[in-house]
Structure 1
Amino acid sequence: MTTSHLDSTAPEILRYVAFSTDPAGGNPAGVVPAAGGLDDATQLAIAAELGYSETAFLTPAGPEREYAVRYFSPLTEVPFCGHATVAAAVALADRIGAGRLLFRTKAGEVPVEVAPGPGGALEATLTSVEPKVEEIGAAELAEALAALGWAAEELDAALPPRIAYAGARHLVLAAATRERLADLAYDFDRLARFMTGLDLVTLQLVWRESADTFHVRNPFPVGGVVEDPATGAAAAAFGAYLRELGLATPPAVLTLHQGVDLGRPGRLRVELRAGDPRVRVSGAAVRIAG
């Protein structure tokens, strides 16, 4: 008989939801607050058994309130995950108090500040690594659209396709209508192959409600997940995309609504500051009972 990685001999595993104050909303994440000594296979097995889109594994690193952090989906490790960062930061703050943390990720150093939000729930603000934005070739774009089942004319020409990075790579595609965004039924294996070829973590599918409000969805087949309910890394990349294309001018605060189509609504706050290329992403997190 195979022993479960979640049995009494396993490391402590916490469950939090990020980008919502409702445990039934936002994006659930696993948090292992003391992952020292766990090898890659064990971390991947724990993430797979939990079944969340990401689990964060933390190990104290150097000075107080600094941690090495690794992120595993059910299928693979990713260099950076925003919602698991928010979840892990709030989980730590529940134990050691609000304030500044430093996460040392495979993408680089990510400062996180935890403080009570307007409603009293703890909120975390992460500051991304330095972002970059690049164009995508015509053939690659055509393959992405074919895998999604989208037509080129269903895109919003004012928000052109780009690959954006703020710790992980995401392809930004903007739907011309909310109806197109809502109707998401894609070829899982085909999209996974396409994304693997371009080292993409998710697709950032967006619809622009207004200049500072967007609705977003994130297919995540490379992680073994059909759709990520709330995606902080993609939100940071999208903020960089908007600034790079002149669609948002710092200082600016953007609101991203995600998870509505999955019945897990969440809200992500994206901040662009003048003179700082990094992007800040904020959201609440609460523990899931049990």
Structure 2
Amino acid sequence: MNTRIETYIVDSFTDKPFKGNPAGVCILNESILNEQMQLIAKELGVSETAFIIQIEGQKKYSIRYFSPKMEIPLCGHATLAASAVLFERGPEMEKIHFENIQGLNLIIKKYGHSIEMEFPVYDTVPQKAPTELLKALGLKEISNSVFNKETNILLLEIESSELLKNLSPDFERLKRSHHSINGVLVTSISQREGYDFESRYFWPWSGTNEDPVTGGTHTFLSKYWSTRLNKMKMNSYQCSERTGFMEVELISDTALRIKSEAQIVLKGELRL
């Protein structure tokens, strides 16, 4: 046990502990093997764990994300979690630069209790949803079905946020219904006061059964609803059991701002 890693659990996209989406955050002083990061993510058991290390000679951090099953290129809630940790460790900091495995430069800013992240914007293209997948989700009909290639996620729009909230998928059947996607995002217009749209994200193929609140899906979900609602700034609500929220704003054809809060609930030391 020569290596000791400062480790946190952080609830993202919420203003209350034990709501939102829990993420692991590991602060590395030196690089560790991919296999070790994967084992740590599996041990912590949350949907994603972020591993951050300062890039030598730069005011920038490398960030990588692992679910209990695999490495994920980009994760919104783990980025928010890692930012909350760094801002607490360095109260004088107001801006963070992260670089992910795809070479994306993620700019993070602090505004009081809120944290604002700048993420890329992605497009969607029409793609038919398999009948078996709809049955596994418990859906008899959908309004639209599109696909985002960067995240390899299928987006399904349905008419009712009440139906969305009450979905209870058969996850084993869901896994068998498709063999080439990372997850399926189901979304609807919100009937909730103060919110524009709602979503839930199911990903038994590459992570846990359901991700409680998902920042990464908003890279394409925000543009999808911006086009539908003719709005550039919107409030998003994820109606999972834990629930969570964020403000999203399209600032260009390629850039998106995501703003929310995060709560650090656990700090410890992981030993390798």
Q: Common fold, TM-score beyond 0.5? A: yes
Alignment of 1:270 with 2:253, yes or no, is no
**Equivalence for 1:173:** 156
Runs of 4+ in 1 over 4 A off after TM superposition: 193-196
> Counterpart of 1:220 in structure 2: which amino acid?
W
Q: Separation in 1 of the partners of 2:176 and 2:61?
A: 33
SS of the residue 1:288 aligns to: strand
**Equivalence for 1:108:** 103
Cα drift, residue 235 of structure 1: 1.9
CA change 1:110–1:146 in 2 (3 A) is farther
Deviations 1:40-65 (A, max 9, x none): 11111111111110000112125543
Deviations 1:217-271 (A, max 9, x none): 111212341211110001222012234xx21435x2111112x441x22111111
**Equivalence for 2:93:** 98
CA change 1:225–1:111 in 2 (3 A) is same
Query: Which structure's relative contact order is higher, taking Cα pairs within 8 Å and 6+ residues apart?
Result: 2
Q: Separation in 1 of the partners of 2:265 and 2:31?
A: 26
**Equivalence for 1:21:** 15
CA change 1:215–1:8 in 2 (3 A) is farther
Of residues 123-132 and 24-33 in structure 1, the stretch that sits farther from structure 2 once superposed is: 123-132
Correspondent of 1:283 among 251, 260, 264? 260
Which aligned pairs between 1:110-259 and structure 2 lie closer than 5 A? 110-117=105-112, 121=113, 123-137=114-128, 140-152=129-141, 155=142, 157=143, 160-164=144-148, 168-194=151-177, 196-198=179-181, 200=182, 202-209=183-190, 213-243=196-226, 246-249=227-230, 252-258=232-238
SS of the residue 2:68 aligns to: coil
Q: Separation in 2 of the partners of 1:186 and 1:112?
A: 36
Q: Separation in 2 of the partners of 1:34 and 1:148?
A: 39
> Counterpart of 1:283 in structure 2: which amino acid?
S
Q: Is the 8 A contact 2:49 2:66 kept in 1?
A: yes
**Equivalence for 1:87:** 81
Cα drift, residue 174 of structure 1: 1.7
Q: Which is helix-richer, 1 or 2? A: 1
CA change 1:196–1:39 in 2 (3 A) is farther
**Structure 2 unaligned residues grouped into runs of 5+:** 268-272
Of residues 65-74 and 141-150 in structure 1, the stretch that sits farther from structure 2 once superposed is: 141-150
SS of the residue 1:103 aligns to: strand
**Equivalence for 2:54:** 60
Q: Is the 8 A contact 1:163 1:172 kept in 2?
A: yes
Q: Is the 8 A contact 1:236 1:280 kept in 2?
A: no
> Counterpart of 1:279 in structure 2: which amino acid?
L
Q: Is the 8 A contact 1:170 1:237 kept in 2?
A: no
**Equivalence for 2:25:** 31
**Equivalence for 2:270:** none
Q: Separation in 1 of the partners of 2:51 and 2:61?
A: 9
Q: Separation in 1 of the partners of 2:219 and 2:264?
A: 23
Cα drift, residue 108 of structure 1: 3.4
Q: Separation in 2 of the partners of 1:194 and 1:66?
A: 41
CA change 1:58–1:206 in 2 (3 A) is same
**Percent of aligned pairs sharing the same letter:** 28
SS of the residue 2:216 aligns to: helix
Q: Is the 8 A contact 2:130 2:177 kept in 1?
A: no
SS of the residue 1:41 aligns to: helix
SS of the residue 1:271 aligns to: strand
TM-score, normalised on structure 1? Answer: 0.82
Q: Is the 8 A contact 2:119 2:256 kept in 1?
A: yes
